[in-house]
Amino acid sequence: MSQQTLRLAVVIGSVREGRFGPVVAEWFAARAREHGRFTVDVVDLADTPLPLELPPVPPAVRPDMDRPASMAHLTERLSAADAFVVVTPEYNRSFPASLKAAIDWHFTEWQAKPVGFVGYSGGSGGLLAIEQLRQVLGELHAHTVRDCVSFPRYYQLFAPDGTLREPEEPAGAAKVMLDSLQWWAAALSEGRRARPFTA
């Protein structure tokens, strides 16, 4: 397997005012850069207007559909990625509507690519949101890796400056997930080059 540098999109799923997502995403992006096998692109969904109403013919049926012009840059960045890490909070035992909209407005951009998760919440650490995201992204033919990073009671774990008070265990979990993402991203990237994915 080749040792190419892979493109990793770290997607911040929350867009609401006062969100903690960018703090968690920047922490994880730093771990991904340290890993050394990825070019990291932090994709903040708050930068893109995301209509909640899909067009009459959804992307799954017509992947070449015209999206709103304001979404073009997001689509390009998702398409360019070899792998994804979704940073998600847990709202009422699920993930944010903004994240569902971003997923649903796209289809081929997720196909045959690996996805990892970093969750945070006051209770489960985002695990309930992550389990639902596994089902959603599996429907789009993405491969979700087994390992994830979870921050229960995140407000106690992070210091005011955005650093972790006890970083060793989360950093270890991030390394395990990044190793898995790197393997799958390399394998699936080579597979897509050898034979375009069709579903």
pLDDT value at position 63?
A: 73
Mean pLDDT per 10-residue section of the chain, whose length is 199 residues: 80 97 98 97 96 82 82 96 98 96 95 98 96 97 98 97 97 98 97 86
Q: Is residue 182 part of a domain?
A: yes
d(CA 176, CA 10): 16
pLDDT value at position 1?
A: 40
Domain range spanning residue 175? 6-194
Using one digit for the tens of pLDDT, what is the confidence trace for 75-89? 999 999 999 999 999
Is 61 in contact with 68 (CB distance < 8 Å)?
Answer: no
Using one digit for the tens of pLDDT, what is the confidence trace for 50-65? 998 888 887 877 877 7
Q: Is residue 199 part of a domain?
A: no
Q: Is residue 89 part of a domain?
A: yes
DSSP string covering 142-178: -EE-S--EEEETHHHHB-TTS-BSS-HHHHHHHHHHH
Phi, psi of 163 (to 5 degrees): -90, 155
d(CA 47, CA 15): 9
pLDDT value at position 3?
A: 65
- What domain count does the chain have? 1
Q: Is residue 132 part of a domain?
A: yes
pLDDT value at position 67?
A: 87
Look at residue 109 and give its three-state secondary structure. coil
Considering the entire predicted model, what is its pTM?
Answer: 0.95
Q: Is residue 138 part of a domain?
A: yes
Q: Is residue 1 part of a domain?
A: no
Q: CATH number for the domain including 96?
A: 3.40.50.360
Q: Is residue 35 part of a domain?
A: yes
pLDDT value at position 59?
A: 80
Q: Is residue 11 part of a domain?
A: yes
d(CA 51, CA 68): 9
